[in-house]
Amino acid sequence: MSRVLVTGANRGIGAACALAFARQGARVALADIRLPQDTAAAAEAAGAAEVVSLSCDVSDAASVAALGASIDATFGGLDVLVHCAGIIHEAPLLETPVADFDRVIGVNLRGSFLIGQMAIGRMTGSADAPARAILIASDMAYYGRETFSPYVASKHGVLGLVRSWAKEFAPRVLVNAICPGPIDTEMLGAANMSAEWRARELAIPLARFGQPEEMAALAVFLAGDGGRYFTGQGIGPNGGSIMP
C-alpha cells in the first residue's frame, strides 16, 4: 500500500490530491500550516487505508524535520510526495517590499527544497519500483508575468530543483513537476489577484479555469504505473495557456 505525503492539504489542489490518493486506498499523511482536519476526515470517508493529519510550516527547517519524524513514526518511510504548499503575491516590482519577496521565496522555493530533501531522504524506491516526488510549479514559470516576479521566480526555481533531483536520484526516485494554468482555487480569488488578472487568466484557448481534481488526476497518474517513464518533466495541464 503506497505511503503518500501531500502538503498544502487544507484546500485547493492539495485537498483534491489528498482525496484522489485516498480513493486509491493509499496511506496518506496530510500536512498544512493549519492542521488539515477537514481534509483528513474526507480522506477517511473516501477510503484511505490510513490518514495522518499534521501541521507544518514548509519554510521552517525545524517544522519540516518534525514532520519527517512524524512520518518515520507512522509510516516508516514514503513512496510518494505531492508537494502543493505555496502562496502567490501580485504587486509591481517597484512596490514590492523585500519582506514580501522573502516570504514568497521562503514558502515556494525554500519550502520545496526542505520538503523535497526530507521526503526523498525517506524514499526506498528501486529501478523496478521507483518512488515518486511530484512538485506543483506553474505555467508562469515558463512565460513570466508582470507584477508577479517573486512568484514567477519561485516557481522557476522549483523547476530547477525538479530537473536536478531527477538526475540525482534516477532511477529509484522519479521527480516531476505539475505546472498548472489558471485553476479555480482561493489563489485566484480577489485576496490574491486583481479582477483584471483574473480576466486575463481566462484569455486562453479553453476559456475556463481548470479544476483542482484535474490536477489531482495527473498526480495519481504520475505516481502510478503509467508514470514510470516520466522524470525531470514539467507537465502543463493549463488549458492552452502555454504550448512549449
102-120 per-position pLDDT tens digit: 999 999 999 999 999 999 9
**What confidence tier does 81 reach under pLDDT thresholds 50, 70, 90?**
very high
Name which of 53-62, 94-103, 195-204 the model is least confident about.
Answer: 195-204
pLDDT digits (tens, 9 = 90+) for 201-213: 889 999 999 999 9
Give pLDDT, residue 236. Answer: 96
Give pLDDT, residue 76. Answer: 97
Domains of the chain, residue spans: 3-235
Grid cell of 51 as nine digits: 490518514
**What confidence tier does 182 reach under pLDDT thresholds 50, 70, 90?**
very high
Q: Can 142 be counted among the known catalytic residues?
A: no
> What are the C-alpha distances in Å from 91 to residues 75, 94, 106, 147, 178?
41, 8, 17, 5, 25
Residue 137 to residue 152: CA distance in whole angstroms: 9
pTM for this entry: 0.96
Q: Are 153 and 88 in contact (CB under 8 A)?
A: no
Per the residue annotation, which of 142, 143, 151, 229 is the catalytic one?
A: 151
Phi, psi for 127 (deg, rounded to 5):
-60, -35
Average pLDDT for 129-158: 96
Give pLDDT, residue 120. Answer: 98
Give pLDDT, residue 191. Answer: 67
Name which of 55-64, 110-119, 155-164, 191-200 the model is least confident about.
Answer: 191-200
Q: Which CATH architecture describes the domain 3-235? A: 3-Layer(aba) Sandwich (3.40)
Residue 198 to residue 216: CA distance in whole angstroms: 22
Mean pLDDT of the chain: 95
Give pLDDT, residue 190. Answer: 61
Average pLDDT for 187-197: 73
